[in-house]
Chain A
Amino acid sequence: MTLAIGDTAPSHELPDTDGRRHSLHEDGATTVVVFTCNHCPYALAWHERLADVAGDYDVRFLHVNPNDAERYPGDSYEAMQKRVAEERWTVPYLRDEDQEAARAFGAKTTPDVFVLDGEGRLRYRGAPDADHRDPSQRAAWLREALDALGAGEDIARPETEPVGCSVKWK
């Protein structure tokens, strides 16, 4: 299954690295859900840019790691906890252990960015911007989507091709 633009996202609840559970969408709140991981160069390269977006916008921002930790131990819950502590993350990093959220969203890569409006409908899906190697891009596609959503306007580019490492399915 893959969410299409306009579809209502499933309301999974997932634990963060402190064990607190977060719903993937919340009524009345714009939510950015980024499927990501610890070991992918694309996810790592875009991470700071996404963190900047999280700081610049008054929206819920959730990172979700769905990767199979048995084959990729670097993506285990313990490794996620270690990374959050070492890098002092300011946004929740959620574990999708059974991969149900990733399947329900149709996540393909890490990163894969989904923007949900206050009613839980998908309004943007894809890459943060056009080039993981170019920090000056500043996650422009995601910012454009959030700007339009905040202004109550149509999103000019609601869908882009997600780019990154494949999700590591069990």
Chain B
Amino acid sequence: MKIELLWWEGCPSHPEALEELERILEEEGARADVELVEIETDEQARAERFAGSPTLRIDGEDPLPAGEGEPYSLTCRIYRLRDGRVSATPDPDDLREAVRRAL
């Protein structure tokens, strides 16, 4: 499994997302190469379909697609936890499901 974590320096959430991802990979016994990809310009954001930091891609696909109409730009990504609260990082259970789907 190849995982890319796309991040932007204007948003402080990617270390927390990476930590949760690595914890879940370990708990699931999943072998994965995690590559950190820094997004630095709006042009790069559009080219990479970057809906905000952090954005994950597992085997080339965003497992938690952003809502329609979300602009691709240098911004922090808005996630919804399963109880509806706003978060700067994905719900760990959503992340775990995404990893399991890719196993």
Contact = CB atoms under 8 A, between A and B. Distances in A.
Interface of A: 39-42, 44-45, 71-72, 132-133, 135, 163-166, 168
A133 B10 contact: no
Interface in B60-94: 73, 75-79, 81, 85-89
A68 to B, nearest CB: 11
Given A165-B11, A166-B10, A72 B75 contact: yes
Interface of B: 10-13, 42, 73, 75-79, 81, 85-89
A41 B12 CA distance: 11
A67 B12 CA distance: 17
Contacts of A42: 76, 88
B76 A40 contact: yes
B86 A41 contact: yes
A168 B76 CA distance: 11
Contacts of A163: 12
Nearest to A166: B10
A41 B78 contact: yes
A71 B13 CA distance: 21
Contacts of B88: 41-42, 45, 132-133
Contacts of A45: 85-88
B76 A132 contact: no
The 8 closest A-B CB pairs, nearest first, are A166-B10, A41-B88, A44-B86, A165-B76, A41-B78, A45-B86, A41-B86, A133-B87
B86 A165 contact: no
Given A163-B12, A165-B11, A135 B85 contact: yes
Contacts of A72: 73, 75
Contacts of A44: 78, 86
